[in-house]
Amino acid sequence: MPVAHEIRADFDRDTVAIYQAYSPAIADAALKAGRFVSPFSFHRMTWIKTSFLWLMHRSNWGQKSAQDRVLCVRVKRAGWEKALSLAVLTSFEPAVFTTPDEWAVQFAAAQVHLQWDPERSLRGAGLPYSSIQVGLSRHVIREYVEDWVVSIEDFTPRVRKIYELLQSGKADKAKRQLPPERVYPVSAEVGRRLLIGA
């Protein structure tokens, strides 16, 4: 079984896949431009996730309003790792921070937020280990869009296919359509700050 906190992702030597769900207006504009453009907002936090099934739980398989288009965004590993290096946990953890006040000061100044949520099974059940969610503030979103994003792919047809297989009782076939995810390596220092391995 995976450990409580570890990053699991589809990645290669240069890039890592993250998943986001958007309205058709945002998704279509991004796919046409090959990058995020208006009506995508550069002024609010955007959350990126490496867990495909967590996003399926969050968006109800792309059926929630304004989350009905699922994008697979390939970002540079250098960008992803910069986000991790800037990230501060969204809650006080005594294993990381000396006092709640120390955490509060760091969190208030953080350009990137990070939280751990229960990973999800194919059918949406909570699992006894966590999935990483990384929140990019307006201070780094433009860098994300202009420097980190390598490609944007519309995963909506794949999502619908998996969901249809699942609904028709073909869970084994649905599982074979899932994108691959394996443990993403991080440095000891990043791991300590983000509870990875704990």
One digit per residue, the tens of pLDDT, for the chain of length 198 reads 677 899 999 999 999 999 999 999 999 999 999 999 999 999 999 999 999 999 999 999 999 999 999 999 999 999 999 999 999 999 999 999 999 999 999 999 999 999 999 999 999 999 999 999 999 999 999 999 999 999 999 999 999 999 999 999 999 999 999 999 999 999 999 999 999 976
Over residues 155-183, the pLDDT tens digits come to 999 999 999 999 999 999 999 999 999 99
pLDDT at 198: 64
State how beta strands 87-89 and 182-183 pair. Answer: unpaired
Q: Which residue has the tokens 């000396």?
A: 98
Which segments within the chain are labelled E, that is strand? 8-9, 15-22, 46-49, 69-76, 87-89, 112-120, 126-136, 149-154, 182-183
Tokens, residue 60: 């109800």
How many other β-carbons are positioned within 10 Å of the β-carbon of residue 138?
A: 13
pLDDT at 71: 98
pLDDT at 3: 77
* 82 domain residue, yes or no: yes
CA–CA dist 132, 134 (Å, integer): 7
* 21 domain residue, yes or no: yes
Tokens, residue 95: 């294993």
Range of the domain at 100: 8-186
Report how many domains make up the chain: 1
Which segments within 15-111 are labelled E, that is strand? 15-22, 46-49, 69-76, 87-89
